[in-house]
């Protein structure tokens, strides 16, 4: 069955520290997509990145980087030199091509608190 696990419920760091948010997924589909979204206190889910199952290249975007490893079914997210504005709940999600709808299966989220 499909599942996304974010074992870290809450993480607190001091500004400028690096922090990694873990995501482990389960799927039987060979074609799938993985996502990270940010949910600030306002509530809107903000898209950060999508990776497909055939592309294991790591990606860097500014202070953000993502490590996709199919061997361990993980898609981890690292914020370098964290800032207070990074404080939010971060969700990892899975979408399977076989669903036909590309609906998301979300993890339970990791609340990140960056302290000044």
Partner 1 sequence: GAGVSQSPRYKVAKRGQDVALRCDPISGHVSLFWYQQALGQGPEFLTYFQNEAQLDKSGLPSDRFFAERPEGSVSTLKIQRTQQEDSAVYLCASSLKGQPQHFGDGTRLSIL
* Interaction between residue 106 and partner 1 (CB under 8 A): yes
Match 């997509």 to its residue by tokens: 33
Match 């036909």 to its residue by tokens: 100
Near partner 1 in 59-98, by CB under 8 A: 91, 93
Determine contact, residues 71/89, Cβ cutoff 8 Å. Answer: no
Task: Give the residue, chosen from 28, 43, 61, 62, that forms a contact with partner 1 under the rule CB under 8 A.
Answer: 43
Near partner 1 in 12-41, by CB under 8 A: 35, 37
Query: Which residues bind to partner 1, rule: CB under 8 A?
Result: 4, 35, 37, 42-47, 50, 91, 93, 99-109
């Amino acid at each position: 069955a499909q599942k996304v696990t974010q074992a870290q419920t809450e993480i607190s760091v001091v500004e400028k520290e690096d922090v990694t948010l873990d995501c482990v997924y389960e799927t039987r589909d060979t074609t799938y997509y993985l996502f990270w979204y940010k949910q600030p206190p306002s509530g809107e889910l903000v898209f950060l990145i999508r990776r497909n199952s055939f592309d294991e290249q790591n990606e860097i975007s500014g202070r953000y980087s993502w490590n996709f490893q199919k061997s361990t079914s993980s898609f981890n997210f690292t914020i370098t030199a964290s800032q207070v504005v990074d404080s939010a709940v971060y969700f990892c999600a899975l979408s399977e091509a076989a669903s036909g709808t590309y609906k998301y299966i979300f993890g339970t989220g990791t609340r990140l608190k960056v302290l000044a």
